[in-house]
Amino acid sequence: MTTATVSRWARRFVFTGALFLLVWALAALIGTPRRVEVVLVLFGFVLHTVFGKGYSLIPVYFDRELAVARAPFVQFPLSVGGTALLALDGLRASPAWVGAVGALCWSLGVLVFTGSLLWTVRGDLSGSATGTGAVNTHRQALDRVANAFVPVALVYLLLGSYGVLAVETGLPVVFDGSVARASHLLAAGTGALFVFAVGFRLLPRFFVATPPRFAPVLVFPAAAGGPLLIATYLPSGQWFRLGAVLEASAVVAFAIVLGVLSYRSERRRVGFYGVLAGAVCGCLGVGLGLQFALGGLQPGLGLAHARLNLVGFLGLTIVGVSYQFYPPAVGTFPGAGDRTALGAIACLLVGLVLGVTGLAFDAPVFELLGGVSALAGAVAHIWLLGGLFRERANR
């Protein structure tokens, strides 16, 4: 019963994340403020997907069962409502209470998520028990390393969420109360670190290949330390530059690992294209971040940096991995199949590239074309997930 309940709620979180991606595409197309875009993609799409897959994967990776089976049921309305209110708060016409209530709901949802997972893995926070199957015993050492950084991602989630709550409610602030600092804690500290930790467990199995032995050493320490330095010393200074270098090195190293896995693999799955495209976008995104750290923020490129990392690196990686968990080819509804999945990935990627080009060169036509393409990709993605989830529920 616990497994069935958790799986059902995991799908609801993942589908809601895809819905927020669609809302982001619409918001970007009509030109909403940058803060609204960040909330919709980071809080709505990325972190809702993290919540859903976190509930279903983390207990298994620590060889446990979720200790509080009703935690997803309790968290879901808090996180969805909190995200919606925080997005509305980014609009100039919203009442003052909207942000405070949104941040409170969001933070309560995060407490439910982190509390239930930490209670589930209590006594083994380092993840020495991996639940690694007999056919994957050669991956056990890597699985243990990946497990050890899951609690770090959860700590970043708590820190970033409190940062948002403090700004909106007047509680004692973290650092100087900058929303940008909290966003970096959540995006780089939680989102990226979760992708790395879960990715090192999932992707070698998906590709049926072995990553380079040095990979965890290059990725995890830098990914764990970089976000804290960036958030603490943003927007300048030697420690900020060090944080940017660490985060960039982690993303680039992870991209190289994915390239090696793809080269060594004999499999070709549609989801791999999303993961690889996400890695390329991540390299471009952290490249812009390094440019900001070394030469200062340039007008118009701040939003490009956010989109490349949130929609590109985290977003396309999530879309690609989603098609591994929920293969489009098994669907029997109209449009189900790898072609639609590949079209969704391609439209999101092309839309992102055109949009970033338009921002960089102040070309509204490219931004418009990019927005239309990204919207088409988001529609195709939610159509696939909705159809697959509906058919799975009817079985």
Q: Give yes or no for a contact between 46 and 21, defined as CB atoms under 8 angstroms apart.
A: no
What pLDDT does 134 receive? 80
* SS3 category, 145: helix
What pLDDT does 159 receive? 96
Give the global pTM: 0.97
Segment holding 96, helix H or strand E: helix 96-120
- Token code pair at residue 168: 């909106």
Mean pLDDT of 89-94: 86
**pLDDT greater than 80 at residue 235:** yes
Mean pLDDT of 245-257: 97
pLDDT in tens, 147-205: 999 999 999 999 999 999 999 998 998 888 788 999 999 999 999 999 999 999 999 99
**pLDDT greater than 50 at residue 368:** yes
pLDDT in tens, 202-219: 999 999 999 998 999 999
What pLDDT does 346 receive? 98
The pLDDT confidence band at residue 326, using thresholds 50, 70 and 90, is very high
User: What is d(CA 306, CA 35) in angstroms, rounded to the nearest whole number?
Assistant: 10
User: What is d(CA 129, CA 193) in angstroms, rounded to the nearest whole number?
Assistant: 20
User: What is d(CA 284, CA 308) in angstroms, rounded to the nearest whole number?
Assistant: 7
**pLDDT greater than 60 at residue 28:** yes
**pLDDT greater than 80 at residue 296:** no
Lowest mean pLDDT across 80-84, 293-297, 345-349? 293-297
Mean pLDDT of 385-394: 92
- Token code pair at residue 362: 């102040």
Q: What is the CA radius of gyration of the chain?
A: 20
The pLDDT confidence band at residue 248, using thresholds 50, 70 and 90, is very high
What pLDDT does 299 receive? 67
Task: Give whichever of 131-145, 200-214, 368-382 has the largest mean pLDDT.
Answer: 368-382
Mean pLDDT of 240-250: 97
The pLDDT confidence band at residue 393, using thresholds 50, 70 and 90, is confident
User: What is d(CA 273, CA 278) in angstroms, rounded to the nearest whole number?
Assistant: 8
Mean pLDDT of 85-101: 91
What pLDDT does 51 receive? 98
What pLDDT does 136 receive? 87
Q: Give yes or no for a contact between 153 and 113, defined as CB atoms under 8 angstroms apart.
A: no
* Sign of the torsion formed by the C-alpha atoms of 320, 324, 327 and 329: positive
Long-range contacts of 177-180 (CB under 8 A, 24+ apart): 178/234, 179/35, 180/234, 180/235
Cβ atoms < 10 Å from Cβ of 256: 17
- Token code pair at residue 88: 């509305």
Segment holding 181, helix H or strand E: helix 179-184
**pLDDT greater than 80 at residue 298:** no
Segment holding 240, helix H or strand E: helix 238-264
What pLDDT does 1 receive? 46
Mean pLDDT of 340-366: 96
Residue among 188, 186, 180, 288 at smallest CA distance from 235: 180
Mean pLDDT of 252-279: 96
Residue among 146, 156, 158, 154 at smallest CA distance from 198: 146
- Mean pLDDT for the chain overall: 94
User: What is d(CA 311, CA 316) in angstroms, rounded to the nearest whole number?
Assistant: 6
